[in-house]
């Protein structure tokens, strides 16, 4: 279903009329502004000027959870200079975290306005991509305290825009969905709806942000970066990345780390699935109980669907059956019929596992344990991939903006498992052992296997989605 910007957005302020909406983001030829006198680059913070030099205002629209602002009339251009906002272009006037009022900001470096003007004059389009989760519930005018956050933010951007004097667009992710960096739907929205569908020159485009994964003391006395999402965002988009220090001050690149897990370089499995099946599955003429142990999204259900179900095992899952009592009843029924069973739950502790082990012992069948040793970073990545693997960014954009559209069929997608579920699993976890009554405890490492996606659409497309950063 094809949609225009006008059908996906609504004005934040009720006074915007339909004529304003239809011309809201139309690119214009524009004339280049006369360059202001350059300020020297400096590490000193720059307080915003008290005298405004323009009567233009920032126009605001919302597309679902995406807040969009535009200052001036930016032309549609193939080269994009993308920037984070906080601690990249501006920061608060003090050591507190959030702006207290609309004037509580200053440029991070005095050279910021000059550099942005140079970019605009040299053919780049300036676009700000920023996570603003604090605005999540700020558009309800009936909630004064919440709406005040939006008011402060929008008025602050108005003042920043007039100080910069460069046409730009701003996209703010106000929720924890596919718009939020490092996920790439903000860029996709810009590409599809805010740049006249001009083909982007990714080789010349880049993104500048302070969430770069730098360790503590990357520069003498500097703290560890709070995140690495800006760097990951640029990797997802396949564009160059710079920190503010590298970009505005020409400092050399600092060391950084993604941690132990990097999806875009994670190796593909070299083991054939048939070999894995031989190692894990018992002969068809033997009956057994297999208990899987692993944190949420560690690959348990994928293992069951690809290995155990084709081998004839009965699949038992508490998310489906709802209660442990029901799981045990189905397990008893299957074993009584001499059908092998695989229990696909987290089974983190000995107490939980004992319910199933006792049943197997009562009925006289052996029980094995398969412990999936997927680390938390991989599992949480799988969690986000699983929830969005069947939803491409274009569909997300439309559904996010038009959740109740009559022409869009209702679709339910897997929910995101909350972080607390991983904390709970870790707090309960007890390493499985043969001392509990298992005949074998098999340790299975996580592997990336394209066989997962056979018969489920475009394998290359799904692999590319898995290799994106989500967190």
- pLDDT for the residue 143: 80
What is the per-residue pLDDT for 457?
66
pLDDT at 47: 44
- At 219 the pLDDT is 93
Q: Domains of the chain by range and CATH?
A: 5-249 (3.40.50.1000), 273-377+407-466 (3.40.50.300)
The reported pLDDT for the residue numbered 458 is 84
Q: What pLDDT, on the 0 to 100 scale, is given for residue 52?
A: 41
CA–CA gap between residue 172 and residue 84 (Å, rounded): 10
Contact 188, 236 (CB under 8 A): no
pLDDT score for 97: 87
CA distance 86 to 82: 13
Q: What is the pTM of this model?
A: 0.88
**What pLDDT does 282 receive?**
82
Mean pLDDT by 10 residues, the chain (471 residues): 80 51 44 37 40 68 95 97 99 92 96 98 99 88 83 96 97 95 97 96 99 96 96 99 98 96 92 69 88 97 92 95 97 97 98 98 97 96 89 89 80 80 98 97 92 76 94 95
What is the pLDDT at residue 18? 39
Cα separations in angstroms, 391 against 171, 381, 396: 21, 16, 6
In contact, 50 and 93? CB cutoff 8 Å: no
């Amino acid at each position: 279903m094809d949609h225009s910007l006008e059908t996906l957005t609504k004005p934040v302020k009720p006074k915007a009329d339909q004529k304003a909406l239809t011309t809201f983001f139309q690119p214009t030829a524009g004339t280049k502004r006369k360059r202001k006198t350059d300020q020297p680059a400096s590490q000193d913070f720059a307080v915003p000027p008290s005298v405004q030099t323009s009567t233009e205002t920032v126009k605001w629209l919302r597309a679902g959870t995406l807040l969009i602002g535009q200052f001036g009339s930016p032309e549609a251009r193939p080269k994009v200079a993308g920037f984070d906002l906080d601690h990249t272009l501006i920061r608060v006037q003090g050591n507190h975290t959030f702006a207290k009022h609309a004037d509580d900001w200053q440029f991070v470096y005095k050279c910021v306005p000059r550099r942005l003007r140079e970019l605009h004059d040299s053919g780049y389009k300036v676009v700000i991509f920023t996570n603003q989760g604090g605005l999540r519930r700020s558009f309800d005018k009936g909630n004064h305290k919440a709406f005040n956050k939006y008011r402060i933010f929008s008025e602050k951007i108005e003042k920043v825009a007039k100080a910069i004097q460069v046409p730009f667009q701003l996209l703010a992710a106000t929720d924890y969905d596919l718009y939020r960096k490092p996920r790439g739907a903000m860029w996709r929205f810009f590409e599809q709806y805010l740049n006249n569908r001009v083909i982007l020159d990714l080789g010349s485009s880049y993104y500048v942000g302070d969430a770069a994964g730098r360790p503590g003391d990357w520069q003498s006395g500097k703290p560890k970066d709070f995140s690495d999402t800006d760097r990951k965002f640029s990797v997802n988009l396949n564009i160059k990345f710079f920190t503010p220090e590298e970009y505005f001050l020409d400092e050399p690149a600092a060391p950084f780390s993604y941690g132990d897990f990097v999806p875009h370089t994670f190796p593909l499995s070299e083991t054939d699935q048939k070999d894995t099946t031989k190692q894990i599955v018992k002969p068809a003429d033997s009956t057994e109980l297999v208990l899987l142990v692993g944190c949420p999204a560690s690959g348990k259900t994928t293992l069951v669907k690809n290995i155990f179900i084709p081998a004839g095992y009965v699949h038992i899952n508490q998310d489906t059956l709802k209660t442990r009592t029901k799981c045990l009843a189905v397990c008893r029924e299957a074993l009584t019929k001499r059908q092998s069973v695989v229990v696909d739950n987290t089974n983190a502790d000995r107490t939980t596992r004992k319910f199933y082990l006792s049943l197997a012992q009562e009925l006289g069948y052996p029980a094995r344990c398969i412990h999936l040793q997927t680390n938390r970073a991989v599992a949480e990545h799988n969690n986000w991939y699983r929830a969005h693997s069947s939803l491409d960014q274009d569909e997300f954009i439309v559904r996010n903006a038009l959740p109740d559209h009559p022409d869009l069929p209702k679709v339910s997608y897997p929910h995101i498992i909350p972080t607390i579920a991983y904390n709970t699993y870790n707090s309960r976890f007890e390493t499985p052992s043969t001392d509990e009554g298992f005949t074998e405890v098999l340790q299975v490492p996580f592997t990336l296997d394209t066989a997962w996606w056979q018969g489920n659409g475009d394998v290359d497309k799904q692999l590319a989605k898995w290799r994106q950063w989500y967190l």
